[in-house]
Amino acid sequence: MGPTSSAIQRPGFLGMSGQSSLDFQCFWIKEVPVKIILSSDEYGELIPAIQQAVEKAGHECTYVGPGPGEEKDWPVVTSDAVARVASGEFDEGIVMCWTGTGATIAANKVKGIRAALCGDAETAKGARVWNHANVLALSMRKTSLPLAREILQSWFETPYSSDDWNLKQIQSIRDLESKA
């Protein structure tokens, strides 16, 4: 069994508060709906909660990954999901695994993907402003429902920067990708 198997006890793993969704006001409703792909190597409370929150904000959210009680390898589900972002089929992605690190690594192997592992709202904001991140990575172990709410709100409220310095940084990333 992998490190995210259901045999592992997860004290405090989503649900300490008894919340079953990310029920909050969606200040991050965009004028133009976006298509989001969501993936995880294991099904957990965050999956339906994120789907509901994204859809409540007027966006489309498609989940790819295992169902309840199932597991799939994180490199496989993550790369499948982000390839669909890179191809333009989806606008953005949200990927998850137990720590979030593996999903981030796998996502960033796909050309055109700028995935950021975000454990708080400020990191999510910075990932959007400075890194033009198009994939949000989350830790299933560390992300509670209230924290997910804060991260999602910051992620969706924050536009990419358009100043010359930041655009130069993003071009540098594209140049690095073309050399790989």
Buried b (16+ CB within 10 A) or exposed e, 117-143: bbeebebbbbbbeebbbbbbbbbbbeb
> Closest Cα partner for 108 from 130, 100, 168?
100
pTM for the whole structure: 0.82
Question: What is the pLDDT, as a whole number, of residue 74?
Answer: 96
Is residue 61 part of the annotated active site? The answer reads: no
> How confident is the model over 46-65, as pLDDT tens digits?
999 999 999 988 899 999 99
Largest CA distance in the chain: 50
> How confident is the model over 140-168, as pLDDT tens digits?
999 999 999 999 999 998 989 889 998 99
Catalytic choice (26, 61, 97, 118):
97
pLDDT exceeding 70 applies to what percent of the chain?
Answer: 83
What structural domains and CATH numbers belong to the chain? 35-179 (3.40.1400.10)
Backbone angles phi, psi at 143, to 5 degrees: -100, 105
d(CA 171, CA 153): 27
